[in-house]
Amino acid sequence: MKKLLFMAAVTVFGFTTINAQEKTTTGGFSNGDLYVSGTVGFNSTKQGNVKSNELSFLPTVGYFVSDNIALEFSLLVGTGEDAAEDKTSTFGAGLGATYFFTPSDQFSFTVGAGVSYATAKEEFNGGGEVKANAFGFAVAPGVNYFVSSCIALRASIGALSYTSVKEDFDGAEARNDFGLNLDLSNINFGITYKF
């Protein structure tokens, strides 16, 4: 269940797109620009001899509807495994919007907000599985830096988020989580390509 909640949190966090730039002739966004990006997240947890690793990939397509605001559509693909060789897989999608403080600059701070839906499945090494569905909302800060006229590096750190996860069986009750995480324990890095 802990893995399912982590993947739901990654989903919520991942669907908020965070970008930024600095005034120069290198890069920048403007109204009508279209871009694709990919963000990779990794989490490793260890308690005593128990260790788990989780990896997520979040491809995103964004379109600037104004000078400062981009609408985005994202997919989430995630996988994880713990010391007992229990495996988790996650798939989801989300919609969001990102506000760029200085979109035409090479470097910019951003704030993104998004909603997401994901399904997760945990397969136990000894047999059996648990499925769950998650809905989430998150707001997250970030940065975007153009290294050329069409390629930017991006990062997002932490999030203010709400997640509701419900296992997929009769009588299951939803687990609702609200969190504010603005430390270095939840960082996603990615690359953006502007068309």
Report the CATH number at residue 21: 2.40.160.20
Give CA separation, 158 vs 18, 22, 81, 133, 142, in Å.
Answer: 11, 22, 23, 22, 9
Give the count of domains, the chain. Answer: 1
Tokens of 127: 């047999």
pLDDT (tens digit per residue) in 118-128 = 998 888 888 88
Cα–Cα–Cα angle for 167, 168, 170, rounded to 5 degrees: 105
Q: What is the distance between the alpha carbons of residues 108 and 101, in angstroms, rounded to a whole number?
A: 6
Domain encompassing residue 31? 2-194
Predicted local confidence at residue 110, as pLDDT? 92
- Side chain identity at 80, as an amino acid letter? G
pLDDT (tens digit per residue) in 29-56 = 889 999 999 877 777 777 777 778 888 8
Q: Residue 48: helix, strand or coil by DSSP?
A: coil
Which range, of 17-26, 55-64, 93-102, averages the lowest pLDDT?
17-26
Predicted local confidence at residue 113, as pLDDT? 92
What's the first-to-final CA gap in the chain, in angstroms? Answer: 40
Q: What is the distance between the alpha carbons of residues 92 and 10, in angstroms, rounded to a whole number?
A: 10
Q: What is the distance between the alpha carbons of residues 112 and 48, in angstroms, rounded to a whole number?
A: 36
